[in-house]
Structure 1
Amino acid sequence: MFLNNSGSRKLKDCLVLIVDDQISSRLVLETLLKDIAKVVGVASGEEALAFCDQHQPDLILLDVVMPGLDGHKTAQKLLADPDKSHIPFMFVTATVTDEEQSRCWNSGCIDFVEKPVNSCTLRNRVKSHLSHKLKNDLLEKLIYLDRLTGAYNRHYLEDFLPRLVKEGDRNTTPLSLVIFDIDYFKQFNDHYGHMSGDDCLWRVSAALKKALQRPMDKLVRIGGEEFLVLLPNTELAGATEVAQRLSNTVYELNLAHDLSSFGRVTISGGVATRLPKQDVSIDAILQLADQNLYQAKSQGRNRVFSLANDA
């Protein structure tokens, strides 16, 4: 179960992203840090942002002077994106004036080191920041993650869903929600026992999380056998496609369920989308997703149903 693995990450499991337009500087930093953590290097702020769209570094080492997006502008974009704003970054700079140091701190960095870097100082600072990040991650798991499945819990939903709504309105992007329910789960529990039921929940959750392809997409357990998927910047058609893929993923697990008409564990899903600045509350969108889930079940289960809100 998830609870048994909640504190298993070590320094060597961490990912450090080095952002520097000079290949020689990247190679020096990679060589100094490669025995501490996993290290990836990119050549620009633009590449760093694109990398963070697909991966979640535990620490970013950010050069200040670069063509295109310099270090400070890259930092601004990181902090402005709710899916990246939690990533700690430290500047690597050749400028050591009081003015530049003040600018680095004001940009939101957790630290900075001077070029040419002192290998002992750099290594120990990186170790310290990664250790702090691991402790914070563990604390977040204890607060925001469901102890059985490893999906996010209602505390996370209450804290972060309003932020996603505001972010969608600010960036004029849609926010889609999918509510899933495991079909005939009560019968599964009654037939196989609650220990098997817990194992089923864990396996379904693990499969759903693995099938979500973007770091910004989140799985929340909202109660019992019900899960909610948060899909920022996703319109209704795209969300319906994602929901169908997730449904197929659970079907292909082929978990036996003798009391289901499908002979295996399946899920049904309801999809709903809030358009940016739409005069509809997020609670109404959740209710619509729940109504669409009811339609999916009424039509035979093991399917997804989506119907737009005309308001």
Structure 2
Amino acid sequence: MTSRAVILIVDDEVSNIEIMSAVLEEDYEICFATSGEEALKVAQTVLPDLVLLDVLMPGIDGYDVCRRLKKEHLLADVPVIFTTGLNDHEAEIRGLSAGAIDYVTKPVQPVILRARVANHIELKRLRDQLAQLAVTDALTGLSNRRHLEQTLVQETARLAVTGDWLSVIMIDIDFFKLFNDTFGHPAGDRCLAMVAAALARAVHLATDLAARYGGEEFVCVLPGRDYNGALGVAQEIQRQVHSLAIPHPQSTVSSCVTVSIGVASAYCRTDMAPSQWMAHADRQLYLSKRSGRNDIFGTVFNAQDAGLISQ
């Protein structure tokens, strides 16, 4: 069942909030704020799908609230509709310049308010779908390489502030070319999709990311996870893939599809590039494959590349 969209109503007059809530509450989840300061806090907490924002409020006015919302990474795409008793073109232009997407005057007309809210909620839903498609691998449903690279940059920067752990896991399906040559590309695609599903079952925290890196390679980004935690995830990935029991008669290590895995873990620092995690994980994956495949190799590294640990 699809969850209902969340509307944040911001107005310093409680009676206006009650009126708009009565118009919209049948179709949407409603939350509210009675000041600009409160609106910013509530928005950051609930991440609404649309904001109905009064222009004239004591303290931070609606224009400033809108500008601040548009500067927030998680809120920049949330549509803002100004609601105001000001019925002049200059106020409308100022509101649209601040980042609002529409403008309705008070007292609100229920039919107009419902229609405009519904239109902008639908447009946001379509934009969100397009944005998700842009970062999703079509075959496996995992994140694509573009999203992986964006996430790695964001997480290394975020975790560098606190000096927390970050781990990266690289996974390669063993002898996948032989699998394709034996069973054909449609079967190969099904194999990739099944391995991706197994990967998603093993990498299940909300902060984790599982992505298809290219071909038969996958990458997991595990923010806040130290080496032992990442090694546990890698072992679970192996168990999940083994449980699929996908026949692979051409493999020299097993009668079923297996994976080789490289793990790289480090404390994040501002002088460390995201590419270091990928380079170290790739090196460990190479060692795993060179050792005979169907294995896990890992390392704990720092800016000086010290502290090698193998498993």
**Alignment partner of 1:280 is 2:275:** no
* Alignment-mate amino acid for residue 241 of structure 1: G
Distance 1:15 1:265, change over 3 A: farther
Q: Is the 8 A contact 1:14 1:130 kept in 2?
A: no
Q: Higher relative contact order at CA 8 Å, sep ≥6: structure 1 or structure 2?
A: 1
Cα deviation for residue 288 of structure 1 reads: 0.6
Which residue number corresponds to residue 144 of structure 2?
153
Which residue number corresponds to residue 247 of structure 1?
238
Q: Is the 8 A contact 2:202 2:233 kept in 1?
A: no
- Pairs within 5 Å for 1:1-80: 13=2, 15-18=4-7, 29-31=24-26, 34=27, 40=29, 59-61=49-51, 80=72
* Alignment-mate amino acid for residue 286 of structure 2: Y
Match of 1:223 among 195, 214, 220: 214
SS of 2:169's equivalent in the other structure is strand
Distance 1:274 1:259, change over 3 A: same
Render the CA deviation track for 1:223-270: whole Å, top value 9, x for unaligned.
Answer: 210011223344434333333333333333333333444433333322
Distance 1:158 1:27, change over 3 A: same
Match of 1:267 among 242, 259, 283: 259
Matched residues in 2 for 1:247 and 1:210: separation?
Answer: 11
- Pairs within 5 Å for 1:134-145: 134-140=125-131, 143-145=134-136
* Alignment-mate amino acid for residue 184 of structure 1: F
Cα deviation for residue 14 of structure 1 reads: 6.8
Q: Is the 8 A contact 1:296 1:303 kept in 2?
A: yes
Render the CA deviation track for 1:8-51: whole Å, top value 9, x for unaligned.
Answer: xxxx95751345799978686431xx3xxxx5567898787566
Where structure 1 has 5 or more consecutive residues not aligned to the other structure, the ranges are: 1-11, 65-70
Distance 1:73 1:137, change over 3 A: closer
Q: Is the 8 A contact 1:60 1:87 kept in 2?
A: no
Which residue number corresponds to residue 187 of structure 2?
196
Matched residues in 1 for 2:280 and 2:178: separation?
Answer: 26
Deviates more, 1:184-193 or 1:170-179: 170-179
Q: Is the 8 A contact 2:157 2:270 kept in 1?
A: no
Which residue number corresponds to residue 125 of structure 1?
116
Distance 1:94 1:140, change over 3 A: closer
Deviates more, 1:122-131 or 1:218-227: 122-131
**Structure of higher CA gyration radius:** 2
Where structure 2 has 5 or more consecutive residues not aligned to the other structure, the ranges are: 34-39, 55-61, 304-311
Deviates more, 1:173-182 or 1:280-289: 173-182
Which residue number corresponds to residue 9 of structure 1?
none
Distance 1:17 1:234, change over 3 A: farther
Cα deviation for residue 188 of structure 1 reads: 1.6
Render the CA deviation track for 1:178-237: whole Å, top value 9, x for unaligned.
Answer: 211112312221221111001111222244345543454333322210011223344434
Cα deviation for residue 286 of structure 1 reads: 0.9
| TM-score, normalised via structure 1 length | 0.66
Q: Is the 8 A contact 2:211 2:219 kept in 1?
A: yes
Matched residues in 1 for 2:162 and 2:136: separation?
Answer: 28
> What percentage of residue pairs aligned between the two structures are identical?
33
Distance 1:171 1:253, change over 3 A: same
Cα deviation for residue 122 of structure 1 reads: 3.6
Cα deviation for residue 309 of structure 1 reads: 0.2
| TM-score, normalised via structure 2 length | 0.66
Distance 1:17 1:105, change over 3 A: same
Q: Is the 8 A contact 1:88 1:110 kept in 2?
A: no
- Aligned-CA RMSD value: 4.6
Matched residues in 1 for 2:226 and 2:105: separation?
Answer: 45
Which residue number corresponds to residue 196 of structure 2?
205
* Alignment-mate amino acid for residue 273 of structure 1: S
Which residue number corresponds to residue 169 of structure 1?
160
Which residue number corresponds to residue 181 of structure 1?
172
